[in-house]
Chain A
Amino acid sequence: MENTSLAHHLILAGLLFVLGLTGVLMRRNLLVVYMCLELMLAAATLALVAFSRFNRTMDGAVLVFFVITVAAAEVAVGLALIVALFRKRGTVQSDALTTLRD
């Protein structure tokens, strides 16, 4: 803690976010895309906690609490959507879902 600065944590959070974004763009499996979205949320919470710690206020940490709540609700709904999609179409590969394009 003594030797790490705000910039170190922000760089880690930024790289984590970029990795998640890369995954969202590259992957075709909707489940993996969804996990990459979660990774981006986790990166954002890391940045929030770092700001909160280095600004000596509690507000960022409380916001992380809400982000975790919303993420948990979002995962439940999103996975239910993916399961419903799989039951209807039999696939979760996003490049097989082209009904609207064709």
Chain B
Amino acid sequence: MPDGLFIFFAALTLGAALLLVLSRNAVTSAMGMILALVGVAAEFFLLDAYFLGVLQVLVYAGAVMVLFLFIIMLLDTEDPQGAYPWKTAALGLATFFLLAAGVLWLFHWSGAVSAVKAGATPPELSVNPAEFTTAAKSFGRLLYTKYLLPLEIAGFLLLVALVGVVSLSKDNPETKA
């Protein structure tokens, strides 16, 4: 039996995700998304990844979701109300239950995960081992040594996204319909 905090935050995350998927109001969906992301951040804390938990709350629940709420309220779209068309509902239910059963089988009943020895570093990762720590310092050390090239690429990606967004949102009279 897993401990109470895990159960609580797992239920919170899944419930909020359900709210996100099912609510017909986009603002309610966004609220569910924020709650789900906070739940994921709490699971990060339970996994001793404190730095990532804080980062998740700051970047996702803070910046990204505020951006989402801005756009939702700016566009002020209305969703069709009432029940889902039966085709959509059937597709959604079938997808959810088939894949959820698959997830439970793969991670629980097939026994593949529990056969993996806990705490053993797989041989692929033991070439250049980076011991798991809770300190934010170990992130910085890895980012500037082993993962320097991905870090540079991520920085470049942010620049490209910045330029792209500016050119997308510029009012260009030639492309007006």
Residues of A that sit less than 8 Å from B by CB:
1-12, 14-23, 25-29, 31-32, 34-36, 38-39, 42-43, 45-46, 49-50, 52-59, 61-62, 64-66, 68-77, 79-84, 86, 88, 91-93
With A22-B95, A42-B37, A88-B177 known, 11 other A-B pairs at CB within 8 A are A6-B118, A14-B104, A16-B14, A18-B96, A49-B43, A55-B120, A61-B49, A79-B71, A80-B164, A83-B75, A84-B168
Indicate which residue in B96, B139, B146, B161 contacts A61 across the interface (CB closer than 8 Å).
B139
Query: Is B88 in contact with chain A by the CB < 8 A criterion?
Result: yes
List residues of chain A with CB within 8 A of the CB of B63: 72
Number of B residues contacting the other chain (C-beta, 8 Å)?
Answer: 87
Residues of B that sit less than 8 Å from A by CB:
1-3, 6, 10, 13-14, 17-18, 20-21, 26, 29-30, 33, 36-37, 40, 43-44, 46-49, 51-52, 55-56, 59-60, 63-64, 67-68, 71-72, 74-75, 77, 79-80, 84, 88-89, 91-92, 95-96, 99-100, 103-104, 106-108, 113-114, 116, 118-122, 125, 129-133, 138-139, 142-143, 146-147, 150, 154, 157-158, 160-162, 164-165, 168-169, 177
List residues of chain B with CB within 8 A of the CB of A73: 157-158, 160-161
Are B168 and A53 neighbours in the complex by a CB distance under 8 Å? no
Are B67 and A62 neighbours in the complex by a CB distance under 8 Å? no
Interface Cβ pair total, 8 Å cutoff:
246
List residues of chain A with CB within 8 A of the CB of B49: 49, 52-53, 61, 64
Taking the closest CB of chain A, its distance from the CB of B85, in whole angstroms, is 10
11 interchain pairs, CB-CB under 8 A: A4-B6, A5-B114, A9-B43, A31-B29, A35-B33, A56-B121, A58-B131, A77-B164, A82-B71, A83-B75, A86-B75
List residues of chain A with CB within 8 A of the CB of B43: 9, 12, 46, 49
Indicate which residue in A8, A72, A82, A88 contacts B59 across the interface (CB closer than 8 Å).
A72
Indicate which residue in B1, B44, B89, B169 contacts A84 across the interface (CB closer than 8 Å).
B169
Q: Which 8 A-B pairs have the closest CB atoms?
A: A14-B103, A73-B161, A23-B21, A26-B92, A58-B130, A4-B2, A18-B99, A80-B168
Complex Cα–Cα for A74 and B125 (A): 29
